[in-house]
Amino acid sequence: MPALGVNIDHVATIREARYRELPNSPNAEPDPVAAALVAERAGASGITAHLREDRRHIRDGDIRRLRSLVATKLNLEMGASEDIVSIALEVVPADVCLVPESRREVTTEGGLDCGGGRDALRPVVRRLRERGIRVSLFIDPVEEQVLAAAELQADFVELHTGGYANAEGAKAEQEIERLELAAALAVRSGLRVNAGHGLNYKNTAAILGLTGLEELNIGHSIISRAVTVGLAEAVREMCAIIAAARE
């Protein structure tokens, strides 16, 4: 059964909407670290947080607190810039997921170009793995990206599910086929498989049978659901969807 990693970025987004200019205010809320601990108690198998270059939501201090308090595992999403790599090497999360990053985007819009970015990515992957950090590469579900990720000696690929999440009907079925082909190739290539982006309470169940799928990383939908039912219940509901697929 795939595990559930809960992405807490949007908890920090709410905080920064009011307190970005007052980062040391004792009134700054909500606390993404407190949210992470609630998610763990409700059944999350891990916590994901994206430390962006522009620090638009998660801050450096959040990552350090998460590392010391999270009891499951911390998955640090990040670009491959040297300042963020240095923080990862200092903090040593269990996992790092390398993602493309643009300051203009609202959220990550596509997968890494592992082939075109091979020369820049190779030393980053090597340094992180030498520090004992498992490395995942966030990629679109296409053959050349899977093979490039294997060549870079990543531990995981995280398959970008946005194309599937935004599709309907026959197109959604085609996207599931793409994901399955990529997942199966990843496993044959010695990679472990995670998935995420755009997954919600309606579309998650259909991809839980992907070959080798170990973890889903879901954020926006869970935090959105938490507005009406509370974070613990939102996490429990997503865990129930995953458990029902196993049964």
- Known catalytic residues? 50, 77, 197
Q: What is the largest CA-CA distance in the chain?
A: 51
Which residues are CB-neighbours of 12 under 8 A, at least 6 positions away?
Answer: 32, 49, 57, 58, 59, 62
Q: Output the CA–CA distances (angstroms, integers) from residue 116 to 130, 135, 137, 186, in the order listed.
A: 23, 18, 14, 19
Instruction: Output the six-digit token pair for 60.
Output: 């450096």
Instruction: Output the six-digit token pair for 26.
Output: 């004792």
d(CA 103, CA 108): 10
Return the amino acid letter for 181.
L
